[in-house]
Amino acid sequence: GAVVSQHPSWVICKSGTSVKIECRSLDFQATTMFWYRQFPKQSLMLMATSNEGSKATYEQGVEKDKFLINHASLTLSTLTVTSAHPEDSSFYICSARESGTSGTQYFGPGTRLTVL
């Protein structure tokens, strides 16, 4: 149980294009999902908290107009990197917390984004 998937697992795009990453909780409902970014040999940095049916809460320094988050259902959150540039190349990881609980977050397998 408690499986979180991400799609795609990797993507290569040209500079200036937009890329959408999906995060799904497969066997549980998640009111809250989180998006992280991880650069090589570094830790996970929280980008934003995604709440079903409401606006996402972004961490300081994260541009909300560049990283669009939509959490339209209890099992799906999407992160769209708009007008991607090479510096956006990173490993994007989502996590989900089961609705009605305040505990463990379950992580997805990550999405490797490479912007040329």
Partner 1 sequence: GESVGLHLPTLSVQEGDNSIINCAYSNSASDYFIWYKQESGKGPQFIIDIRSNMDKRQGQRVTVLLNKTVKHLSLQIAATQPGDSAVYFCAEIRNQGGKLIFGQGTELSVKP
Task: Using CB under 8 A, list all residues that contact partner 1.
Answer: 4, 6, 34, 42-46, 49, 91, 93, 95, 97, 102-110, 112
Please spell the DSSP secondary structure of 78-112, one letter per residue.
Answer: EEEE-S--GGG-EEEEEEEE-TT--S-EEE---EE
CB of 83 to partner 1, least distance (A): 26
Q: Residue 38 in contact with residue 111, Cβ under 8 Å? A: no
CB closer to partner 1 out of 31 and 82: 31
Q: Tell me whether residue 19 or residue 110 sits nearer to partner 1 (CB atom).
A: 110
In this structure, which amino acid lies at residue 114?
Answer: T
Q: How far is the CB of 110 from partner 1 (least distance, A)?
A: 5
